[in-house]
Protein backbone atom coordinates (compact mmCIF):
# COMPACT_ATOMS: atom_id res chain seq x y z
CA UNK A 1 0.00 0.00 0.00
CA UNK A 2 1.46 3.39 -0.95
CA UNK A 3 2.24 5.95 1.72
CA UNK A 4 -0.13 8.61 0.32
CA UNK A 5 -2.95 6.12 -0.05
CA UNK A 6 -2.35 4.91 3.50
CA UNK A 7 -2.58 8.46 4.80
CA UNK A 8 -5.81 9.10 2.91
CA UNK A 9 -7.52 5.86 3.89
CA UNK A 10 -6.42 5.88 7.51
CA UNK A 11 -7.10 9.58 7.99
CA UNK A 12 -10.60 9.24 6.55
CA UNK A 13 -11.49 6.21 8.62
CA UNK A 14 -9.80 7.63 11.70
CA UNK A 15 -11.68 10.90 11.45
CA UNK A 16 -14.97 9.02 11.20
CA UNK A 17 -13.97 6.72 14.05
CA UNK A 18 -12.75 9.47 16.37
CA UNK A 19 -15.87 11.58 15.83
CA UNK A 20 -18.04 8.92 17.42
CA UNK A 21 -15.55 7.04 19.55
CA UNK A 22 -15.72 7.17 23.34
CA UNK A 23 -13.22 4.41 24.09
CA UNK A 24 -9.92 6.17 23.42
CA UNK A 25 -7.89 7.12 26.52
CA UNK A 26 -8.86 10.58 27.79
CA UNK A 27 -8.98 12.58 31.02
CA UNK A 28 -12.49 13.84 30.30
CA UNK A 29 -15.31 14.15 27.77
CA UNK A 30 -14.71 15.15 24.17
CA UNK A 31 -15.95 18.58 23.07
CA UNK A 32 -18.56 16.93 20.84
CA UNK A 33 -19.97 15.02 23.82
CA UNK A 34 -20.14 18.17 25.95
CA UNK A 35 -22.07 19.97 23.22
CA UNK A 36 -24.34 17.09 22.23
CA UNK A 37 -25.34 16.17 25.78
CA UNK A 38 -26.08 19.70 26.97
CA UNK A 39 -29.74 20.07 27.91
CA UNK A 40 -29.50 23.76 27.05
CA UNK A 41 -27.09 25.75 24.88
CA UNK A 42 -26.66 29.51 25.32
CA UNK A 43 -24.79 31.01 22.37
CA UNK A 44 -24.75 34.79 22.04
CA UNK A 45 -27.53 34.85 24.67
CA UNK A 46 -29.78 32.69 22.44
CA UNK A 47 -30.83 29.40 24.00
CA UNK A 48 -31.58 26.04 22.37
CA UNK A 49 -33.09 23.25 24.50
CA UNK A 50 -32.60 19.51 24.19
CA UNK A 51 -33.89 16.50 26.09
CA UNK A 52 -30.97 14.36 27.29
CA UNK A 53 -30.66 11.54 29.85
CA UNK A 54 -28.69 12.04 33.05
CA UNK A 55 -27.95 15.39 34.73
CA UNK A 56 -29.32 18.33 32.75
CA UNK A 57 -26.75 21.09 32.38
CA UNK A 58 -26.57 24.27 30.34
CA UNK A 59 -23.68 25.01 27.96
CA UNK A 60 -22.98 28.76 28.01
CA UNK A 61 -20.49 30.47 25.71
CA UNK A 62 -18.59 33.21 27.56
CA UNK A 63 -19.56 36.55 26.06
CA UNK A 64 -19.88 40.20 27.06
CA UNK A 65 -23.48 39.59 28.17
CA UNK A 66 -22.38 36.69 30.36
CA UNK A 67 -19.57 38.73 31.92
CA UNK A 68 -22.03 41.48 32.81
CA UNK A 69 -24.02 39.07 34.99
CA UNK A 70 -21.57 36.42 36.18
CA UNK A 71 -19.93 38.59 38.87
CA UNK A 72 -23.28 39.10 40.61
CA UNK A 73 -24.03 35.40 40.31
CA UNK A 74 -20.75 34.34 41.93
CA UNK A 75 -20.55 36.81 44.83
CA UNK A 76 -23.13 36.38 47.61
CA UNK A 77 -23.40 39.48 49.79
CA UNK A 78 -24.48 40.24 53.33
CA UNK A 79 -26.03 43.49 52.17
CA UNK A 80 -28.08 41.67 49.55
CA UNK A 81 -29.19 39.02 52.04
CA UNK A 82 -29.92 41.18 55.08
CA UNK A 83 -29.96 44.80 53.89
CA UNK A 84 -27.66 47.56 55.08
CA UNK A 85 -29.94 49.18 57.68
CA UNK A 86 -30.06 52.58 55.99
CA UNK A 87 -32.33 53.76 58.77
CA UNK A 88 -29.33 53.89 61.09
CA UNK A 89 -28.33 52.05 64.24
CA UNK A 90 -30.82 49.30 65.16
CA UNK A 91 -32.80 49.83 68.36
CA UNK A 92 -31.88 47.66 71.34
CA UNK A 93 -35.03 47.24 73.46
CA UNK A 94 -35.00 45.64 76.87
CA UNK A 95 -35.17 41.87 76.77
CA UNK A 96 -35.49 38.76 78.89
CA UNK A 97 -32.36 38.21 80.98
CA UNK A 98 -31.27 41.86 81.00
CA UNK A 99 -30.24 43.25 84.39
CA UNK A 100 -31.55 46.75 85.05
CA UNK A 101 -31.33 49.36 87.78
CA UNK A 102 -34.36 51.49 88.73
CA UNK A 103 -33.94 54.82 90.51
CA UNK A 104 -36.91 56.92 91.71
CA UNK A 105 -36.51 60.65 92.43
CA UNK A 106 -38.97 62.73 94.46
CA UNK A 107 -39.10 66.50 94.52
CA UNK A 108 -38.86 66.61 98.36
CA UNK A 109 -38.60 64.38 101.40
CA UNK A 110 -41.66 63.05 103.15
CA UNK A 111 -42.93 61.29 100.09
CA UNK A 112 -43.39 57.60 99.28
CA UNK A 113 -39.73 56.64 99.12
CA UNK A 114 -38.01 59.50 101.00
CA UNK A 115 -39.04 59.78 104.71
CA UNK A 116 -39.56 63.23 106.23
CA UNK A 117 -36.82 62.66 108.81
CA UNK A 118 -34.26 61.67 106.14
CA UNK A 119 -32.20 64.73 107.02
CA UNK A 120 -29.63 66.29 104.76
CA UNK A 121 -28.81 64.24 101.67
CA UNK A 122 -27.42 64.86 98.23
CA UNK A 123 -30.71 64.13 96.50
CA UNK A 124 -34.17 62.88 97.17
CA UNK A 125 -33.94 59.54 95.41
CA UNK A 126 -33.82 55.85 96.09
CA UNK A 127 -32.12 53.19 93.97
CA UNK A 128 -33.76 49.81 94.08
CA UNK A 129 -31.86 46.52 93.96
CA UNK A 130 -30.88 45.40 90.48
CA UNK A 131 -33.50 43.23 88.81
CA UNK A 132 -33.29 40.62 86.09
CA UNK A 133 -36.12 40.68 83.58
CA UNK A 134 -37.82 37.32 84.06
CA UNK A 135 -39.07 34.80 81.51
CA UNK A 136 -42.42 36.58 81.33
CA UNK A 137 -40.60 39.81 80.44
CA UNK A 138 -41.55 41.59 83.67
CA UNK A 139 -40.00 43.29 86.70
CA UNK A 140 -41.52 44.17 90.11
CA UNK A 141 -41.58 47.75 91.41
CA UNK A 142 -42.94 48.53 94.91
CA UNK A 143 -46.33 50.30 94.78
CA UNK A 144 -46.43 49.92 90.98
CA UNK A 145 -46.65 46.14 90.73
CA UNK A 146 -45.33 43.88 88.02
CA UNK A 147 -44.53 45.78 84.86
CA UNK A 148 -43.97 44.26 81.44
CA UNK A 149 -40.72 45.71 80.07
CA UNK A 150 -39.36 43.19 77.53
CA UNK A 151 -39.41 44.52 73.99
CA UNK A 152 -39.77 48.13 75.18
CA UNK A 153 -37.35 51.03 75.38
CA UNK A 154 -36.17 52.37 78.73
CA UNK A 155 -37.89 55.71 78.10
CA UNK A 156 -41.32 54.12 77.61
CA UNK A 157 -40.94 52.09 80.82
CA UNK A 158 -39.84 55.21 82.71
CA UNK A 159 -42.94 57.09 81.55
CA UNK A 160 -45.26 54.28 82.66
CA UNK A 161 -43.67 53.99 86.10
CA UNK A 162 -43.95 57.75 86.65
CA UNK A 163 -47.67 57.58 85.89
CA UNK A 164 -48.19 54.59 88.21
CA UNK A 165 -46.36 56.31 91.09
CA UNK A 166 -47.81 59.78 90.55
CA UNK A 167 -50.63 59.33 93.12
CA UNK A 168 -48.27 58.06 95.84
CA UNK A 169 -44.91 59.74 95.37
CA UNK A 170 -44.15 63.48 95.29
CA UNK A 171 -43.63 64.48 91.64
CA UNK A 172 -41.78 61.23 90.88
CA UNK A 173 -39.13 60.95 88.19
CA UNK A 174 -37.84 57.50 87.21
CA UNK A 175 -34.48 56.62 85.66
CA UNK A 176 -33.83 53.12 84.34
CA UNK A 177 -30.29 52.02 83.54
CA UNK A 178 -29.21 48.82 81.83
CA UNK A 179 -26.58 47.11 83.99
CA UNK A 180 -26.03 44.06 81.78
CA UNK A 181 -27.50 43.29 78.36
CA UNK A 182 -27.96 39.56 78.05
CA UNK A 183 -30.67 39.75 75.39
CA UNK A 184 -28.72 41.99 73.00
CA UNK A 185 -25.82 39.67 72.30
CA UNK A 186 -24.15 38.22 69.24
CA UNK A 187 -22.33 34.88 69.27
CA UNK A 188 -18.97 34.90 67.46
CA UNK A 189 -17.70 31.36 66.86
CA UNK A 190 -15.10 29.47 64.88
CA UNK A 191 -11.62 30.56 63.87
CA UNK A 192 -11.29 33.65 66.04
CA UNK A 193 -8.83 34.07 68.89
CA UNK A 194 -11.49 34.40 71.61
CA UNK A 195 -14.87 32.93 70.67
CA UNK A 196 -17.50 34.60 72.82
CA UNK A 197 -20.88 36.20 73.15
CA UNK A 198 -20.46 39.90 72.44
CA UNK A 199 -22.80 42.47 73.99
CA UNK A 200 -24.18 45.01 71.53
CA UNK A 201 -24.12 48.67 72.48
CA UNK A 202 -26.53 51.51 71.82
CA UNK A 203 -23.90 53.09 69.58
CA UNK A 204 -24.33 50.25 67.09
CA UNK A 205 -21.94 47.41 66.34
CA UNK A 206 -21.08 46.15 62.87
CA UNK A 207 -19.93 42.67 61.93
CA UNK A 208 -16.24 43.63 61.86
CA UNK A 209 -16.64 45.23 65.30
CA UNK A 210 -17.87 42.01 66.91
CA UNK A 211 -15.18 39.93 65.16
CA UNK A 212 -12.61 42.34 66.57
CA UNK A 213 -14.08 42.04 70.08
CA UNK A 214 -13.74 38.26 69.75
CA UNK A 215 -9.99 38.65 69.25
CA UNK A 216 -9.87 38.84 65.46
CA UNK A 217 -8.97 36.09 63.02
CA UNK A 218 -6.76 33.15 63.88
CA UNK A 219 -6.48 32.08 60.22
CA UNK A 220 -5.04 33.51 56.96
CA UNK A 221 -7.26 36.26 55.63
CA UNK A 222 -7.48 34.95 52.06
CA UNK A 223 -8.70 31.53 53.22
CA UNK A 224 -11.26 32.75 55.75
CA UNK A 225 -15.02 32.91 55.28
CA UNK A 226 -17.55 34.75 57.45
CA UNK A 227 -21.06 33.33 57.80
CA UNK A 228 -23.91 35.35 59.31
CA UNK A 229 -26.96 33.50 60.61
CA UNK A 230 -30.00 35.66 61.32
CA UNK A 231 -33.18 33.77 62.00
CA UNK A 232 -33.81 31.34 59.12
CA UNK A 233 -31.46 33.17 56.75
CA UNK A 234 -27.76 32.52 56.23
CA UNK A 235 -25.16 34.20 54.02
CA UNK A 236 -21.43 33.58 53.63
CA UNK A 237 -18.78 35.93 52.25
CA UNK A 238 -15.02 35.85 51.96
CA UNK A 239 -13.40 37.86 54.77
CA UNK A 240 -11.20 39.71 52.30
CA UNK A 241 -14.31 40.79 50.38
CA UNK A 242 -15.92 41.89 53.64
CA UNK A 243 -13.10 44.23 54.63
CA UNK A 244 -12.71 45.65 51.12
CA UNK A 245 -16.42 46.36 50.63
CA UNK A 246 -17.69 48.89 53.20
CA UNK A 247 -21.35 48.23 52.36
CA UNK A 248 -20.88 44.62 53.53
CA UNK A 249 -19.97 45.71 57.06
CA UNK A 250 -23.58 45.70 58.21
CA UNK A 251 -25.01 46.36 61.69
CA UNK A 252 -25.56 43.43 64.02
CA UNK A 253 -28.91 42.78 65.70
CA UNK A 254 -29.61 40.77 68.87
CA UNK A 255 -29.54 37.03 68.30
CA UNK A 256 -27.17 37.08 65.32
CA UNK A 257 -24.57 34.33 65.05
CA UNK A 258 -21.27 34.99 63.29
CA UNK A 259 -19.22 31.95 62.27
CA UNK A 260 -15.65 32.42 61.08
CA UNK A 261 -14.07 29.43 59.39
CA UNK A 262 -11.02 28.65 57.31
CA UNK A 263 -11.49 26.84 54.02
CA UNK A 264 -8.92 26.40 51.29
CA UNK A 265 -10.11 28.06 48.10
CA UNK A 266 -9.24 25.69 45.29
CA UNK A 267 -10.17 24.72 41.77
CA UNK A 268 -9.63 21.50 39.82
CA UNK A 269 -7.75 21.44 36.52
CA UNK A 270 -8.10 18.52 34.11
CA UNK A 271 -7.34 17.77 30.50
CA UNK A 272 -4.72 19.29 28.22
CA UNK A 273 -3.18 21.72 30.71
CA UNK A 274 0.36 21.84 32.02
CA UNK A 275 -0.75 20.79 35.50
CA UNK A 276 -3.68 18.62 36.53
CA UNK A 277 -5.09 18.38 40.04
CA UNK A 278 -6.34 20.61 42.85
CA UNK A 279 -4.81 24.08 42.76
CA UNK A 280 -4.99 26.78 45.47
CA UNK A 281 -6.33 30.22 44.60
CA UNK A 282 -3.68 32.12 46.60
CA UNK A 283 -5.46 35.28 45.49
CA UNK A 284 -8.62 37.07 46.56
CA UNK A 285 -9.88 37.77 43.04
CA UNK A 286 -8.69 34.96 40.79
CA UNK A 287 -9.89 35.06 37.18
CA UNK A 288 -10.23 32.26 34.64
CA UNK A 289 -7.22 33.60 32.76
CA UNK A 290 -5.09 33.54 35.90
CA UNK A 291 -6.37 30.07 36.77
CA UNK A 292 -5.26 28.77 33.37
CA UNK A 293 -1.85 30.31 34.02
CA UNK A 294 -1.61 28.61 37.43
CA UNK A 295 -2.51 25.31 35.76
CA UNK A 296 0.41 25.65 33.35
CA UNK A 297 -1.57 26.96 30.41
CA UNK A 298 -2.74 25.00 27.39
CA UNK A 299 -0.45 22.30 26.00
CA UNK A 300 0.38 23.18 22.38
CA UNK A 301 0.59 19.55 21.28
CA UNK A 302 -2.70 18.46 22.88
CA UNK A 303 -5.13 21.26 23.69
CA UNK A 304 -8.06 22.50 21.65
CA UNK A 305 -8.12 26.27 22.36
CA UNK A 306 -11.72 26.46 21.16
CA UNK A 307 -12.88 24.20 24.00
CA UNK A 308 -11.78 25.62 27.36
CA UNK A 309 -14.56 24.54 29.72
CA UNK A 310 -15.44 25.62 33.25
CA UNK A 311 -17.94 23.57 35.29
CA UNK A 312 -20.00 25.36 37.94
CA UNK A 313 -23.39 25.24 39.64
CA UNK A 314 -25.13 28.63 39.46
CA UNK A 315 -28.32 30.20 40.74
CA UNK A 316 -31.21 29.97 38.27
CA UNK A 317 -31.57 33.77 38.37
CA UNK A 318 -28.26 34.03 36.51
CA UNK A 319 -29.73 32.23 33.50
CA UNK A 320 -32.94 34.22 33.81
CA UNK A 321 -30.92 37.41 33.45
CA UNK A 322 -29.67 36.03 30.14
CA UNK A 323 -33.35 35.60 29.12
CA UNK A 324 -33.05 31.82 29.19
CA UNK A 325 -36.08 29.60 29.80
CA UNK A 326 -35.16 27.64 32.93
CA UNK A 327 -38.53 25.93 33.40
CA UNK A 328 -36.99 22.51 32.68
CA UNK A 329 -34.81 22.79 35.80
CA UNK A 330 -36.70 22.02 39.04
CA UNK A 331 -33.91 23.19 41.37
CA UNK A 332 -32.77 26.72 42.16
CA UNK A 333 -29.20 25.57 41.50
CA UNK A 334 -28.44 24.70 37.87
CA UNK A 335 -25.28 22.95 36.55
CA UNK A 336 -23.59 25.08 33.88
CA UNK A 337 -20.59 24.49 31.61
CA UNK A 338 -19.03 27.79 30.55
CA UNK A 339 -17.04 27.63 27.31
CA UNK A 340 -14.26 29.95 26.14
CA UNK A 341 -12.93 29.96 22.56
CA UNK A 342 -9.33 31.13 22.84
CA UNK A 343 -8.92 31.22 19.08
CA UNK A 344 -10.94 34.41 19.30
CA UNK A 345 -8.49 37.19 20.30
CA UNK A 346 -11.18 39.00 22.30
CA UNK A 347 -11.63 35.90 24.47
CA UNK A 348 -8.29 36.65 26.13
CA UNK A 349 -9.79 39.85 27.54
CA UNK A 350 -12.97 38.06 28.61
CA UNK A 351 -11.26 35.24 30.53
CA UNK A 352 -9.23 37.85 32.39
CA UNK A 353 -12.51 39.36 33.63
CA UNK A 354 -14.30 36.08 34.33
CA UNK A 355 -14.19 35.51 38.13
CA UNK A 356 -13.33 32.08 39.47
CA UNK A 357 -15.35 30.54 42.28
CA UNK A 358 -14.27 28.11 44.96
CA UNK A 359 -14.46 24.47 43.78
CA UNK A 360 -14.74 25.34 40.07
CA UNK A 361 -13.58 22.68 37.59
CA UNK A 362 -11.53 23.73 34.57
CA UNK A 363 -11.28 21.21 31.75
CA UNK A 364 -9.35 21.69 28.51
CA UNK A 365 -10.34 19.25 25.80
CA UNK A 366 -7.93 17.49 23.46
CA UNK A 367 -7.67 18.66 19.87
CA UNK A 368 -8.99 16.42 17.11
CA UNK A 369 -5.41 15.86 15.92
CA UNK A 370 -4.54 14.48 19.35
CA UNK A 371 -7.46 12.06 19.20
CA UNK A 372 -6.35 10.99 15.72
CA UNK A 373 -2.84 10.28 16.96
CA UNK A 374 -4.27 8.19 19.81
CA UNK A 375 -6.34 6.23 17.30
CA UNK A 376 -3.33 5.60 15.08
CA UNK A 377 -1.39 4.34 18.10
CA UNK A 378 -4.23 1.91 18.83
CA UNK A 379 -4.31 0.73 15.21
CA UNK A 380 -0.53 0.35 15.19
CA UNK A 381 -0.62 -1.78 18.34
CA UNK A 382 -3.08 -4.26 16.81
CA UNK A 383 -1.50 -4.39 13.32
CA UNK A 384 2.04 -5.33 14.25
CA UNK A 385 1.76 -8.59 12.25
CA UNK A 386 1.48 -6.63 9.01
CA UNK A 387 4.81 -4.87 9.15
CA UNK A 388 4.27 -2.85 6.00
CA UNK A 389 0.93 -1.48 7.13
CA UNK A 390 2.33 -0.86 10.60
CA UNK A 391 5.20 1.14 9.16
CA UNK A 392 2.80 3.21 7.06
CA UNK A 393 0.65 3.90 10.11
CA UNK A 394 3.65 5.09 12.09
CA UNK A 395 4.67 7.36 9.23
CA UNK A 396 1.08 8.67 9.01
CA UNK A 397 1.00 9.32 12.76
CA UNK A 398 4.28 11.21 12.59
CA UNK A 399 2.96 13.24 9.66
CA UNK A 400 -0.13 14.20 11.68
CA UNK A 401 2.10 15.28 14.58
CA UNK A 402 3.98 17.57 12.21
CA UNK A 403 0.81 19.28 10.96
Cβ atoms within 10 Å, residue 219: 16
pLDDT of residue 75: 66
Structural domains of the chain ordered from first start:
3-76+285-334+343-401 (no CATH), 78-88+184-262 (3.10.560.10), 99-180 (3.30.1950.10)
pTM for this entry: 0.69
pLDDT of residue 304: 92
pLDDT of residue 378: 54
Residues 6+ apart with CB under 8 A from 52: 37, 38, 39
How many residues are present in the chain?
403
What phi-psi label fits residue 215: left (phi over 0), alpha (psi between -120 and 50 degrees) or beta?
Answer: left
User: Per 3-state DSSP, what percentage of the chain is helix, strand, and coil (rounded to 5)?
Assistant: 30, 30, 40
pLDDT of residue 3: 46
pLDDT of residue 18: 47
CA-closest candidate to residue 236, choices 364, 78, 393, 80: 78
Question: What span, in angstroms and rounded, lies between the C-alpha atoms of 393 and 379?
Answer: 8
pLDDT of residue 52: 59
Distance of CA 317 to the CA centre of its chain: 15
Give alpha helix (H) positions in 279-366. 288-294, 316-321, 345-351
pLDDT of residue 351: 96
Taking the chain (403 residues) in runs of 10, the rounded mean pLDDT of each run is: 50 50 54 68 62 76 90 74 71 92 85 66 80 94 92 93 90 91 93 95 93 95 93 92 92 95 94 94 92 94 92 90 85 92 93 94 85 54 51 53 55
Strand partners, 222: none
Question: What span, in angstroms and rounded, lies between the C-alpha atoms of 281 and 359?
Answer: 10
CA-closest candidate to residue 286, choices 79, 66, 75, 80: 75
CA-closest candidate to residue 303, choices 352, 367, 257, 247: 367
Amino acid sequence: MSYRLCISVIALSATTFVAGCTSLPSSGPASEQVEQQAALKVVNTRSVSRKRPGVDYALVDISAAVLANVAQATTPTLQGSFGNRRGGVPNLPLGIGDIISVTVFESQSGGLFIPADAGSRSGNFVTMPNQTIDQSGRISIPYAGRIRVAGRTTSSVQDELQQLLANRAIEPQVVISKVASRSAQVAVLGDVNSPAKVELTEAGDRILDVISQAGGLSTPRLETYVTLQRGPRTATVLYDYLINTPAENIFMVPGDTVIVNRERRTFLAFGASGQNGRIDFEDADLTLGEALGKAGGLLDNRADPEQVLLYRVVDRNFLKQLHVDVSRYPSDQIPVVFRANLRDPSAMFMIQKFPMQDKDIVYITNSKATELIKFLDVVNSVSSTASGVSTDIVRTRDAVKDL
